[in-house]
Structure 1
Amino acid sequence: MTYCVGMRLNAGLVFLADSRTNAGVDQVGTFRKLSVFEHAGDRLMVMMTAGNLSISQAVRQIVSSHVGADGMTIWNAPDMFEAARIVGEAVRTVHRQEAGKLAEHGVDFNISIVFGGQIRGERCRLFYVYSAGNFIESHDENPYFQIGEAKYGKPIIDRVVTPRTSLDDAAKCALISMDSTLRSNVSVGLPLDMLVYEDGSLAVTRFVTIDENNQYFQLLRNTWGQQLKSVFEGIAPPVWDAVPGPASDAPSSANLHSRPVRVAPPPGVAAAATAAPLQSLAEQPVPPVQR
């Protein structure tokens, strides 16, 4: 499987991808999923893929060599929208060539792409390309896209990343998002490829491949785990057997909605002792635990 995340910020772009692929528990491999199209001083584009590996590799090859009827290529497209259209058309080309044959063997045509970058004369842009070749663009309301195993790493990004987030903070958030995914899903794995692009640079200036020996990633995952546990322990536990307050919506056991759905025993089952009174959570905030 895969986890990739791309972020579009006022300061630039952040891309992070894992490199694990698997077609079963005994067919695990490492393949790079982040590809760079760079013409220094003119354009810098990044493509990350998830889904069927053979489809992804075919799409990447077609994108790099595609020449349209009008002579347009990824290397001379006037803007990122047109470049994204070339990527989408490459997906459709592979679908026409391979989808039927794959279906004969019970294999779905499965690919998703995060594609972004900057062409001289316009701002940074980020796109999500679907299996049908259509795509959407990131805007300020949604400054990031994820593909693959997205659910584990999504909460931290939703809480932290906005267009105003700095590149370094966004990179740190992306790595925490990836670490959360690595801990919860064995189909995502090291090494990682991370590219951080500064708006206007039109070249790769910050790139790193991260393996299990990377000191910063070790520091981040250890510190994040410790801080999460510390914050968790700093939140007061629930207080039970609260006294109902004057508010009509107090979480009291006297409230019908606070009663469990009880299944009556069948006839002939001896009656048990009288049920214990229900306890309710305290309705008043309690102070945090002092550490």
Structure 2
Amino acid sequence: MTYCVGTLTAEGLVMLADTRTNAGIDHISTFRKLKIWTKDGERTVALMSAGNLAVTQAVVGLLNERMDDPEWDQTQTILGAPSMFMVARVVGEAIRDVRRVDGPSLDQGAGGFHASFLLGGQIAGRNLRLYQIYAEGNFIEATQDTPFFQIGETKYGKPILDRVMNFDVPVREAVKVCLISMDSTLRSNMSVGLPLDLMVYRRNCAGEFVERRITEDNADYARIRDGWGDALRKAYRNIADVDLPV
């Protein structure tokens, strides 16, 4: 399993994914779940994935092959589609194509065809967008009212997002909130693990972004992880005890 979170803010976009993949307690591996495509000054597109690794890798592989195929209509590719909405359609169609090939055999197993994606980015002259794309290839878009999406093991990292994340949160704070959300998930679910992949994009800077691989010894992550743990312990101690006759 995995955990990915993406947030859309007035300043930009934050996308964060873990890298753990496990097929049982004795088979744990590290695979990158965040893929970034870019054209300098023209577009930045990021895709995060959760679910069956073979399925998600097949989707990304198909997207890359179509960009490299001179006979494929390049307006139907990640780097050629004229809008982020059309990029989302391109990803959705790739998912459906993989499903047509692999779905029947996977549906006979216990896991089935299981995959989900977060797609974010901006094309120069157009709006910054964030989408959640389902295994069926359809998708929904983040808005100012609902500025974040999660896929994978979502439940442990959701409370902090529900309490503090909104469209007006500065992008630096959004990074901090996403890392707290990830740390809460890491603490409670062993199917999610380090290292983490982080991408930060500032609105209207198409082709430019910051990317980081975060490991256990990363000083910023350690400070946020330890600070959040200390803050939680102090908060619960400062709340009055329940009045019980014991």
TM above 0.5: yes
* More strand per residue: 2
Superposed displacement of residue 77, structure 1: 0.9
Percentage identity across paired residues of the two chains: 45
Counterpart residue number, 1:30: 30
Counterpart residue number, 1:262: none
Alpha-carbon separation, structure 2, partners of 1:70 and 1:228: 50
Counterpart residue number, 1:170: 174
* More helix per residue: 2
5 Å-filtered alignment, 1:249-264, equals none
Counterpart residue number, 1:203: 207
Counterpart residue number, 2:159: 155
Counterpart residue number, 1:252: none
Counterpart residue number, 1:91: 95
Q: Is the 8 A contact 1:65 1:73 kept in 2?
A: no
Counterpart residue number, 1:233: 237
Q: TM-score, normalization: structure 2?
A: 0.95
Counterpart residue number, 1:268: none
Tell me the matched-pair count: 242
Q: 1:66 aligns to what SS in structure 2?
A: helix
Q: Is the 8 A contact 1:127 1:137 kept in 2?
A: yes
Superposed displacement of residue 101, structure 1: 1.9
Greater radius of gyration (CA):
1
Q: Is 1:4 the counterpart of 2:8 in the alignment?
A: no
Deviation readout 1:161-214 (Å, 9 max, x if unpaired)? 111000000000000000000000000000000011001111243111011110
Counterpart residue number, 2:139: 135
Q: Which runs of 5+ in 2 are unaligned?
A: none
Alpha-carbon separation, structure 2, partners of 1:66 and 1:82: 15
Counterpart residue number, 1:118: 122
Superposed displacement of residue 100, structure 1: 1.1
Runs of 4+ in 1 over 6 A off after TM superposition: none
Alpha-carbon separation, structure 2, partners of 1:71 and 1:141: 31
Q: 2:107 aligns to what SS in structure 1?
A: helix
Give the letter for the 1:43 counterpart. Answer: R
Q: Is the 8 A contact 2:11 2:202 kept in 1?
A: yes
5 Å-filtered alignment, 1:70-89, equals 71-89=75-93
Q: Which runs of 5+ in 1 are unaligned?
A: 242-278, 280-291
